[in-house]
Amino acid sequence: MQSLPSKKIVELKKNDMEKKFDSFQVVIFQIFFLVYEYLLKHPFVESEDIKNLASVSKPTVNKLFENLMDMEILELVEDKKVQTICI
């Protein structure tokens, strides 16, 4: 059985992780919104455009594109270029 201090430590760690997760979700939403606004003005984009715009890694851009394609907001038109289709 955990002692009272151990329970408190576990609770504090849980609360800390929840705060970090909430902060992470806010950052992801901010990046998504930034990209969405960019797509409104630029119907054809390349991953490098978004990488530079949002200051994120190439794998992050690829995952973002994958999600936007799943949502039918983007479609792949060339090997490295995607087109806005549903904004």
Beta-strand ranges (E) seen in 23-80 are 44-46, 74-76
Q: What is the mean pLDDT of the chain?
A: 79
Q: What is the pLDDT of residues 56-85, one digit of tens each?
A: 998 888 888 888 888 888 888 876 566 555
| pLDDT at 15 exceeding the cut of 80 | no
52 pLDDT band, cuts 50/70/90, is very high
What confidence score (pLDDT) does residue 61 get?
Answer: 87
Contact partners, residue 43, CB within 8 Å, separation at least 6:
83, 84
What confidence score (pLDDT) does residue 82 get?
Answer: 64
38 pLDDT band, cuts 50/70/90, is very high
